[in-house]
Structure 1
């Protein structure tokens, strides 16, 4: 059985990285904001309206269930990342726990889904900017935006870290301001706005106007908003002190994410009648309009744009690091290992951005058809990756306790019960997707992608040279 993977912590005075070695330039503040910004995306600001319309005030229960599941996964990832920092994150852990086939499948699944996400976020951001600048073609806006972020990621990891720090800071500031204003309105402290009391929570059909089934349906719409948190465990491998940095980032992010998501949804369901929510329209805008905030629509539109660009930047980083990690393990072309003098994996960044440029051309040729297709292709892939995290954690935690207990600086409390609970919850959501007519197609595409990758991994295993004896 292989020994646990360890990496020597870098220091700020470490020499320049050699070719093929990633830099260690990220600081704890970068990781903390990356952990927060990674899960605060456009899905929260816009997509939450669909869930509110489906479940009514009970959508807060859907968010609580999804947040609990996501935070359990984050805790498991944080434990493994602190003990075994690796830019390949859960792909490396899956390989060490379950075998090369698992690492190959998890790594390439993440890379494929992430480059698709880059394309989706790029096209969505370009659509917003095109509305502001109708004279500029949408494809040109998308091309320039992707080129800028690609170049930024090729320069150094510190440029990525600074960009994400400020992007995440703006998103966090927007949510804090919304929470403060919302709480003031609930308490009747906003001039000209009458405190709603409990009317929107207990009236209009009550807290569960659509029944308990709607909580389950709402869960399927909101759980995917929590994707993206794995990036912080990749970035930890490029910090000066990976174990300490990821410990601080994960611990601080867990309660803050809970506050931001559940707090903002509590404000929304208290101030906004659930039947006034419109799918596709931000409930944040609806609440601000009711409070008489001028320019609320444009304000949230700016925040959504920043969220999209931030997510695209983080996904480009994550995809390039996963490609680099796969190459280091012999699961991708060795050329992707090459790095610049500052430790940036330029070829891996370029390869990860390439699909985005192709998507720009396809969207220009077939507008409004590429985005829905790409979204379907992503489907339940995030859940499969979360399930891989849980499986790897169940194996590696016991191995670490037996062989290297001193590495467990972050511990998943309630092990193994909470790990099994997380795995069961993920499987339950996958089953719910299979039973839901709208989600079934997305799950089908994701399952097909997983099966194809498993088949490729199997063929590679059969062709691999065997050690004699």
Structure 2
């Protein structure tokens, strides 16, 4: 449920309109393809973390098999993009509130929600897990209800709306209105919906039985995500013309809310808006948990200030939490300065870094298998099917999607920030490595 909570967020409920603006009804195909990509990532991680169920997850494993530089870069990159993603989630939550109160300044709900998320994460991890479980449950139940109501609306109709049928899937330019180029560009936004699936590996160190729990959680989470996403997006595109749902590629409200509004079901639209609001808060809540643990892992390797590794009496790394809350402060500032572009600005930088992290995870997986084979060690209890062919194909796909962000105007600035970021992080590694005495030695298999 924590994995679902981290993945089901604004990427589906808000960012899907951006994908639809590029590919139209073919966005359904994009969600299927990206589900397969996420499955490869999740299974690669499961194969590695059942052998190394440690705090820091793929960051520590990259340290072991690719060297200290890779461990440093992947953890700091992941921490940074998730900190930015937290800001994007609370901004999205503020946009949802404006559905009810359009004149409300965006920064006000952003600040309020930031405080709520911080309070939950300050508590003991057991309380966090309980809160996140119910947050995720709301999202899962809501998506199921949405799909069921959508099927009724498509097939037999509702009291105030006639059955829509499936004509919207081929009308308005056809199923693939912008050609293969549009489908590929949509992958950028669709992949963002699956970012967060790696959270399962981060929880390995706090799992009672990671060898049993992590593979099972990864498999169930990704298959359920794929089912929810594909069916939900299919309903959105079937009920409302894609040209309406795309909203010109802008972000003003969730397309899920738009479905009920277009069907003349205002009460359902209000309920759905509340659901997507809790979805954004849930994702922000989970991402703050992730960044806090990643910062704690960096401190353990002396790649972050020692004070960020200290635990409270409840076992929570509160100093790391305070530093990870920078994304919330960033969100408040950006939402006050530029309401209309706030979400897209944070989205672009976050997705750029996330694609790089996924690429490094797959490179680590390749090194993990090669090193264990060279040492004559037994294979992991969990094995990625078809590797290394499947992992190489996914690496090429991710690299191509990363390059394609250069051709999407709102996301192009992410390169201007992303490339200098990696230069700065590499320089920081050179400085910190001179004093770091890491407890993790590579390759200590």
> Does TM-score exceed 0.5, indicating one fold?
yes
Q: Which residue, out of 94, 97, 100, partners 2:65?
A: 97
Distance 2:169 2:340 in 1: 37
**Partners in 1 of 2:104 and 2:159 — Cα distance?**
41
Structure 1 residues without counterparts, runs of 5 or longer: 1-32
Change in CA separation of 1:442 and 1:135 when aligned onto 2, cut-off 3 Å: closer
* Equivalences, count: 433
> Equivalents in 2 of 1:195, 1:348: separation in Å?
52
Pick the aligned partner of 1:415 from 354, 364, 387.
387
Report how far residue 116 of structure 1 moved.
1.8
Aligned partners of 1:82 and 1:409 also within 8 Å: yes
Tell me how far 1:335 sits from its aligned partner: 1.5
Q: Distance in 2 between matches of 1:202 and 1:69?
A: 27
**Partner in structure 2 of residue 21 of structure 1:** none
Question: Quick check: 1:156 aligned with 2:124?
Answer: yes
1:335 aligns with 2:307: yes
For residue 287 of structure 1, the aligned residue among 259, 264, 279 is 259
Q: Which runs of 5+ in 2 are unaligned?
A: 438-445
Larger Rg: 1
Q: What residue in structure 1 maps to residue 442 of structure 2?
A: none
Cα deviation for residue 188 of structure 1 reads: 2.4
| 1:310 lines up with 2:282 in the alignment | yes
Residue 405 (structure 2) aligns with: 433
Judged with a 3 Å threshold, the aligned counterparts in structure 2 of structure 1 residues 339 and 404 are, in CA distance, closer, same or farther, namely farther
Checking the alignment, whether the CA contact within 8 Å between 2:153 and 2:163 is kept in structure 1 is yes
Query: Separation in 2 of the partners of 1:420 and 1:48?
Result: 27
Contact in 1 for aligned 2:160/2:265 (Cα 8 Å):
no
- Contact 2:157–2:164 at 8 Å: present in 1 too? no
- SS, match of residue 176 in structure 2: coil
| Superposition deviation, residue 79 in structure 1 | 1.7
* Alignment deviations for residues 99-137 of structure 1 (CA, whole Å, 9 cap, x no partner): 100111111111122222222323332454477579998
Aligned to 1:223: 191
Q: How far apart in 2 are the matches of 1:129 and 1:265?
A: 22
CA RMSD after TM alignment = 2.7
In 1, the alpha carbon distance for the partners of 2:233 and 2:344 equals: 26
Query: How far apart, in 1, do the equivalents of 2:241 and 2:110 lie?
Result: 37
Q: Is contact 1:378-1:445 (8 Å) kept?
A: no
Range 425-434 or range 348-357, more displaced: 348-357
Query: Separation in 1 of the partners of 2:403 and 2:336?
Result: 36
The partner residue of 2:18 within 45, 50, 59 is 50
CA contact (8 A) 1:128 1:305 kept: yes
Structure-2 residue corresponding to 1:6: none
1:247 aligned partner: 215
The alignment status of 1:321 with 2:293, answered yes or no, reads yes
Does residue 348 (structure 1) correspond to residue 320 (structure 2)? The answer is: yes
Go from structure 1 to structure 2 and tell me whether the alpha carbon gap of 1:346 and 1:438 turns closer, same or farther (over 3 Å shift).
Answer: closer
Is 1:273 matched with 2:241?
yes
Equivalent residue of 2:238, what SS?
A: helix
TM-superposition CA deviations, 1:422-468 (whole Å, max 9, x none): 11111111122234444332233222212211222234446779xxx
Query: How big is the shift at 1:45?
Result: 1.5
Q: CA deviation at 1:382?
A: 0.5
TM-score by length of 2: 0.88
How far the C-alpha of 1:240 sits from its partner, in A, is 1.4
What do the CA deviations read for 1:129-181 (whole angstroms, capped 9, x no partner)?
47757999865654443333323222211111111101110001111001112
TM-score between the two structures when normalised by the length of structure 1: 0.84
Contact 1:87 1:233 in 2 (8 A): no
- 1:360 maps onto 2:332 in alignment: yes
Which region of structure 1 is more displaced relative to structure 2, 246-255 or 186-195? 186-195
Cα distance between partner residues in 2 of 1:99 and 1:323: 18
In 2, are the aligned partners of 1:316 and 1:349 still within 8 Å (CA)?
yes
Q: Structure 1 residue 107 and structure 2 residue 75: aligned?
A: yes
